[in-house]
Chains A and B, each alone.
Chain A
């Protein structure tokens, strides 16, 4: 069996075309899974005995909340890599994930509000889970603001990696908040080692939407990382061929970073 040199993809030049193929693949997977999930969720899944139809918000609320937490953990993972190896691509991946993480955190809060109103009688309470999820949204916005506030990309990489690592303690707080504190938010619907407390078709719809959200996040992150590569490696020869294929043999050093 031929050995694949995985480290080849650690260089932006060889990662760029791969990321392009993955963007298209995962984009389509996201669309197909969302169509299937919405069909099961709105056509097949029955009305909930206690909540009526409003429970159907779960099909986007729970996947969005999971993705918001997961993406932050992935950013922290890439941040460890970028600090330990002082490599460019892990920082770029962390940077590429932050806006999509912010989007999912916002959607988790928004859909939670519109589910809370018919269920609890209020759009918002300063409950441990809601508050810690709001903190997560602010952490994402902080990462984006910090990045745009520092001109030198390598300094911005390090500052954002540190913020990501400090903020990651918030994720287990969100996850366990419903156990640690007496919250208005209900406990975990799905947890390891226990049978899910919901009907099979509801669970199927929710999982389809979750996998769709995964695929969407992967697609957008890879799309964004390619834009970041173009920005940061603009003067390298291989980016020149991408942005301006008509002119061969342009000046510029390989892998030159954009200077502020």
Chain B
């Protein structure tokens, strides 16, 4: 297993590349979900304001 992870001496370069991709994807998906939640909350607040006489 550790031999496979070493990738013939290139493990650092390979896992730095794949690791950054994984991190970027996780961050983007988290940001997407958070943006949806806050947009819905803002929309609800705007509609509540619009209902005020």
Binding site for B on A (CB under 8 A): 47, 52-54, 56-57, 60-61, 64, 99-100, 103, 106-107, 110-111, 114-115, 117-118, 216, 220, 223-224, 226-227, 230-231, 234-235, 239-240, 242-244, 250-252, 258
**Contact among A47, A60, A100, A239 for B8, CB-based, below 8 A:** A47
A235 x B10 contact (CB < 8 A): no
B10 x A223 contact (CB < 8 A): no
Chain A neighbourhood of B44, CB < 8 A: 243-244
**Contact among A47, A103, A226, A230 for B28, CB-based, below 8 A:** A103
A234 x B47 contact (CB < 8 A): yes
Chain A neighbourhood of B7, CB < 8 A: 53-54, 56
Binding site for A on B (CB under 8 A): 7-11, 13-14, 16-18, 20-21, 24-25, 28-29, 31-32, 35-36, 39-40, 42-44, 46-47, 50-51
Pull 28 A–B residue pairs with CB atoms less than 8 Å apart, ordered by A.
Answer: A47-B8, A53-B8, A53-B9, A53-B11, A53-B14, A57-B13, A57-B14, A57-B18, A103-B25, A106-B24, A110-B17, A110-B20, A111-B17, A111-B21, A114-B17, A115-B17, A220-B28, A220-B29, A220-B32, A230-B39, A231-B42, A234-B42, A234-B43, A235-B47, A243-B43, A250-B47, A250-B51, A251-B47
With A224-B35, A227-B39 as known contacts, state yes or no: A258 contacts B46, CB within 8 Å. yes
Chain A neighbourhood of B35, CB < 8 A: 224, 227
Chain A neighbourhood of B10, CB < 8 A: 52-54, 118
Given A118-B10, A242-B40, A243-B43, 18 more A-B residue pairs with CB atoms under 8 Å apart are A47-B8, A52-B8, A56-B7, A64-B21, A107-B20, A114-B17, A220-B28, A220-B29, A231-B39, A231-B43, A234-B47, A239-B43, A243-B40, A243-B47, A244-B43, A244-B44, A244-B47, A252-B50
**Is chain B's binding surface mostly helix, strand, loop or mixed?**
helix
Return B16 CB to nearest CB of chain A, in Å.
5
Determine the residue in chain B with the shortest Cβ distance to A38.
B18
A103 x B24 contact (CB < 8 A): yes
Return B20 CB to nearest CB of chain A, in Å.
5
B47 x A60 contact (CB < 8 A): no
Chain A neighbourhood of B24, CB < 8 A: 103, 106-107
B40 x A230 contact (CB < 8 A): yes
Question: In the bound complex, how far is the Cα of B9 from the Cα of A44, in angstroms?
Answer: 19
B16 x A114 contact (CB < 8 A): yes
